[in-house]
Each structure stands twice: as C-alpha cells, then as structure tokens.
C-alpha cells in the first residue's frame, strides 16, 4: 500500500540523519526517518571530541537522545532498511526490506560509511574506549602510549605512519598479511615503527580497556591501546547511484558546499556518505544545513 507523500524522507538515522530530522521537525514538516540501525555511531562506545561532553559520550546514548528529541517534534521513525529509491511523479518512491513503500517530495540520504572489521576478531568491546579508528578524532587518546595498529597491508601501514605524530611506540600487526607497497617497509623503519606479519587470535581487555593481543602463533603483545585500519570501508551510496546522483571515484556523494543538495534536484545528502572529514560534529553540521535548504525548497523561498 502506498501512503500519502511525506514532505521529506530521511534515509539513515545516524548522527547526520537525526540532526536533520530535529531541524526539519522544528519547521513542523511531515518527515519520515528510516534507519537500518547499523551505523558507525552504534559501534563507537565513546566520542571524546564533541563540545559539551568533556568525558565523552557513547554513540548509543547520543542516538537515543536524538531519537527522543526528533519524536517529540513529530518526526516519524521506523526501523527499516531502504532497498530501492526511484524518481516518481515529481517526487520519490522508497521501498524497504519490510515491504513498505513510501513517497516523498524531498529525499535526504544520510546512509554513512560501513567499516570493514575482520569477522574473525571481536573488537567491539574496546572500540572507542581503547581501540580507535579515526586519528583526527582519537590520536590525542594515544599520546605517549604503547600503541598497536591492527590492520591490513598499506591501510594499516599508512595509519601507523600518521599515528607517529602522537606516540613513538607503535607496533603495526599486519593481521591479513596483505603485501605492502615498495618503500613502505623502509618508511616504517625510518619512523621506528615495529612491523609484524601475523594473524591476531584475540584482543585481551578488561572492561573495554585493551591490555594487548594474542597472536595465532601464541605470542602475547602488550599495549596500552590500539588503532584499526583494515581498509576497503564501504561508502553506502548505492541508493544515490540508483537515482543518478554524481559520486566521486571513491563513491562518496558530491554535494553543493552551501546547500548539501546533490546533482539530482530535490535529493540531498549529509554526513559521512558525502565528501568530507568523517567526524560526528561535521555530520551534525551537514544534517542541520541540509535541513535548512530542504525547508527553503519546500516553502519555495
């Protein structure tokens, strides 16, 4: 059954989507937010760099509070994954895995990026508390500490080199034993970064505080904290592609810097799926800005 069109459908209820929903709710537009519930913000156990949260806040807590705030403003929230988007009757049709079909006058894509984490390792208990992903967010947390980089090939090596800004004691463990580019070994050596090619069997931790790792050959490597960099993260821009939205070669969505509208009229994008530094505060800013311009377009100003 096709229900009456929403003024806007937001696909993705992470940081960018929820901030946009709150802003659109305050304009009192009729908005549906569809979220599959598998965002980066659900796996980050602590954001340390957000203004107002000097002790940090978990992604879950931030999303819970964002959802409550959006609902209070009349935003409809549904836990469902969108599988198809189409341009229809001057607006958009959205189909979900639950079999629901919705229509909207405007569309906001806030579908984020999905991190490639190795299926054979349970990293989640430490993510955001002592095992980090983003040096711009959490390089500060490892300053002067013995740090392991768990990764794959060049992605892990590049991360180790970047982290040298914060600490001198780094060991890069190439878990997937992917070959490094010529010259990379020399660069690591020059920066005093130890290199090991061995699968990690388990991460040792107590209450999310990493103590080190056990390798598949039985060796134990102690550390205060770690970073992960396995490369090949997935930019979730497939829905944008279905609509003919222009993407960068790396599959991030290109948006207008001022309005956050994509190359397709009345389709906006915000957050990590677009081209920018992947940070929570930036995703929030994007979401708010997109919502302002969606509002302008709805009222014709």
Ligand X SMILES: Cc1cc2nc3c(=O)[nH]c(=O)nc-3n(C[C@H](O)[C@H](O)[C@H](O)COP(=O)(O)OP(=O)(O)OC[C@H]3O[C@@H](n4cnc5c(N)ncnc54)[C@H](O)[C@@H]3O)c2cc1C
Question: Under rule CB under 6 A, which residues in 281-300 are in contact with ligand X?
Answer: 281, 283
> Bridge partners of 33?
10, 77
* 149 part of the interface to ligand X, by CB under 6 A: no
How near is the Cβ of 11 to ligand X at its closest, in Å?
Answer: 5
Three-state SS sequence of 42-87: HHCCCECCCCCCCCCECHHHHHHHHHHHHHHCCCEEEECCEEEEEE
* 17 part of the interface to ligand X, by CB under 6 A: yes
CB 186 within 8 A of CB 249: no
* Cβ neighbours of residue 49 closer than 8 Å, sequence gap 6 or more: 137, 138, 140, 279, 280, 281
Residue from 279, 289, 294, 295 touching ligand X (CB under 6 A): that is 279
Q: Please, which residue, 103 or 272, has the CB nearer to ligand X?
A: 272
**DSSP-derived secondary structure letter, 218:** S
* 212 part of the interface to ligand X, by CB under 6 A: no
* 11/279 Cα distance (integer angstroms): 19
How near is the Cβ of 263 to ligand X at its closest, in Å?
Answer: 19
Q: Please, which residue, 185 or 234, has the CB nearer to ligand X?
A: 234
Q: Please, which residue, 49 or 69, has the CB nearer to ligand X?
A: 49
DSSP three-state, residue 21: helix
Residue from 9, 34, 70, 294 touching ligand X (CB under 6 A): that is 34
- Phi, psi (5° rounding) for residue 134? -115, 115
Which tokens go with 241?
């592609």
Q: Please, which residue, 24 or 188, has the CB nearer to ligand X?
A: 24
Residue from 7, 103, 224, 272 touching ligand X (CB under 6 A): that is 272
* 230/212 Cα distance (integer angstroms): 18
CB 25 within 8 A of CB 294: no
Question: Under rule CB under 6 A, which residues in 241-270 are in contact with ligand X?
Answer: none
Question: Under rule CB under 6 A, which residues in 69-128 are in contact with ligand X?
Answer: 81-82, 110-112, 115, 127-128
Which residues sit at the interface with ligand X, rule CB under 6 A? Answer: 11-17, 34-41, 43-44, 47-49, 81-82, 110-112, 115, 127-128, 133-134, 137-138, 236, 239, 271-272, 278-281, 283
């Amino acid at each position: 059954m096709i229900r009456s069109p929403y003024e806007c459908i937001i696909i993705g209820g992470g940081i960018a989507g929820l901030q946009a929903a709150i802003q659109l709710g305050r304009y009192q537009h009729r908005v549906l937010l569809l979220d599959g519930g598998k965002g980066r913000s659900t796996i980050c156990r602590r954001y340390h760099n957000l203004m107002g949260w000097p002790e940090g806040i978990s992604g879950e807590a931030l999303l819970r509070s964002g959802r409550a705030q959006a609902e209070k403003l009349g935003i409809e929230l549904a836990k469902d994954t969108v599988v198809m988007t189409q341009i229809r009757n001057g607006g958009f049709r959205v189909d979900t895995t639950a079999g629901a079909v919705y229509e909207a006058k405007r569309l906001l894509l806030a579908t984020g990026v999905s991190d490639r984490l190795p299926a054979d390792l349970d990293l989640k208990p430490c993510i955001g508390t002592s095992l980090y992903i983003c040096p711009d967010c959490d390089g500060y947390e490892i300053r002067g500490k013995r740090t392991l980089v768990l990764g794959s090939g060049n992605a892990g090596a590049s991360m180790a080199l970047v982290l040298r800004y914060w600490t001198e004691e780094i060991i890069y463990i190439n878990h997937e034993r992917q070959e490094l580019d010529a010259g990379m070994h020399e660069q690591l050596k020059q920066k005093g970064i130890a290199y090991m090619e061995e699968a990690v069997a388990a991460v040792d931790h107590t209450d999310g505080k990493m103590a080190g790792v056990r390798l598949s050959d039985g060796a134990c490597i102690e550390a205060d904290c770690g970073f992960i960099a396995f490369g090949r993260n997935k930019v979730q821009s497939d829905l944008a592609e279905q609509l003919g939205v222009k993407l960068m070669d790396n599959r991030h969505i290109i948006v207008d810097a001022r309005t956050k509208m994509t190359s397709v009229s009345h389709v906006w994008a915000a957050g990590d799926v677009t081209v920018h530094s992947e940070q929570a505060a930036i995703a929030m800013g994007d979401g708010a800005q997109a919502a302002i311009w969606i509002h302008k377009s709805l009222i014709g100003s």
